[in-house]
A = this chain, B = another copy of it.
């Protein structure tokens, strides 16, 4: 369905995993933004450098600038699109900070009043979702009784196609 629009994009590596062109919704010279297998809130997306590096310190000044200018652009477009009024922007930089995929990625979460009872619960949710996403990528069996399920490729492609229209 989004083959025409997604033809402008290509597949990228996210650590050891492949992110299909259909899941990418905007790219910059050094970075790309993609939808999430298991979003914690509506519009929870990720922005990564195209170069596979684990730690933020490994990025060149050009990559740092490009990563955060793209993150700013994505956040500014997604916040009103999802009816939100704030953004959580975070890098879990290294395993002791909760990083599960060894490839720098900025989490961008549109936030609304009352989306979590306590603000910090959003990070519990990011951690749980990261672990589930990693399990899904690795083909591990997921506990399908859990409330929030990993999304299908079709759902992710549909969301990416919708978000792509914000960056014309």
Chain A residues engaging chain B, CB cutoff 8 angstroms: 56-57, 59, 61, 64-65, 67-69, 72, 75-76, 79, 84-99, 109, 111-113, 115, 118-120, 122-124, 126-127
Contact = CB atoms under 8 A, between A and B. Distances in A.
Contact of A119 (B85, B97, B112): B97
Contacts of A99: 86
A57 B72 CA distance: 6
Identical chains bound together, number: 2
A72 B68 CA distance: 12
A85 B94 contact: yes
Given A65-B68, A69-B65, A72-B59, A86 B90 contact: no
Nearest to A68: B68
